[in-house]
């Protein structure tokens, strides 16, 4: 038994799916520190040319520059799939992970997806999920910023030192 899929054209896409998947991928890749892969949608069709041995919600082929998500998922399943496939994109793009076996990578993607949502409980509505993703993005940016600020302050502003950049430059 094979399951056949085809890629949706842009005009066939559902706008709410596109916006949710894009935002999930954007926030997730900010965390993973990779460029966001292209997001494409697929559906199951007898004349589809992409074949799988079982039904899939998504997939990410090497080299991890594109992720594919099945259209028609619930908003909650859609964001989980986007996050899961972005982790596979990260695996393909990370040299140390490229040759790991499939079940190991699958387990890692599942764990990552679970941890991505941290303590954010979610009932699964589109607007709610967009809000939670926004919160996660703000937390990420804030923690990066405060980390960087601490790094700069370590050697930038010292008591009795001139407040300048680059540090320790002699001015004549
Ligand atoms: Zn997977």
- Going from the Cα of 87 to the center of ligand 1, the distance in angstroms, rounded, reads 8
143, part of any domain: no
- Going from the Cα of 140 to the center of ligand 1, the distance in angstroms, rounded, reads 24
Task: Read off the pLDDT of residues 18-65 as tens digits, 9 standing for 90 and up.
Answer: 999 999 999 999 999 999 999 999 999 988 999 999 999 999 999 999
pTM here? 0.84
131, part of any domain: no
Full residue range of the structural domain in which residue 33 is found: 3-121
- Going from the Cα of 106 to the center of ligand 1, the distance in angstroms, rounded, reads 5
Q: Measuring CA to CA, how many Å separate 86 from each of 1, 107, 113?
A: 28, 14, 9
Strands 38-44 and 50-52: unpaired
41, part of any domain: yes
67, part of any domain: yes
Count the Cβ atoms, other than its own, within 10 Å of residue 153.
10
165, part of any domain: no
């Amino acid at each position: 038994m094979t399951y056949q899929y085809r890629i949706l054209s842009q005009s066939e896409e559902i706008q709410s799916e596109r916006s949710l998947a894009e935002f999930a991928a954007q926030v997730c890749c900010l965390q993973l520190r990779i460029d966001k892969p292209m997001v494409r949608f697929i559906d199951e069709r007898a004349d589809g040319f992409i074949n799988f041995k079982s039904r899939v919600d998504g997939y990410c082929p090497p080299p991890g520059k594109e992720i594919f998500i099945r259209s028609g998922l619930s908003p909650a399943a859609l964001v989980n799939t986007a996050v899961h496939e972005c982790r596979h994109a990260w695996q393909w793009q990370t040299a140390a992970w490229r040759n790991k076996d499939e079940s190991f990578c699958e387990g890692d993607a599942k764990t990552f997806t679970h941890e991505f949502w941290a303590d954010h409980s979610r009932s699964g509505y589109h607007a709610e999920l967009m809000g939670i993703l926004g919160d996660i993005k703000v937390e990420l940016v804030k923690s990066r910023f405060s980390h960087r600020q601490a790094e700069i302050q370590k050697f930038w502003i010292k008591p009795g030192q001139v407040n300048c950049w680059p540090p320790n430059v002699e001015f004549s």
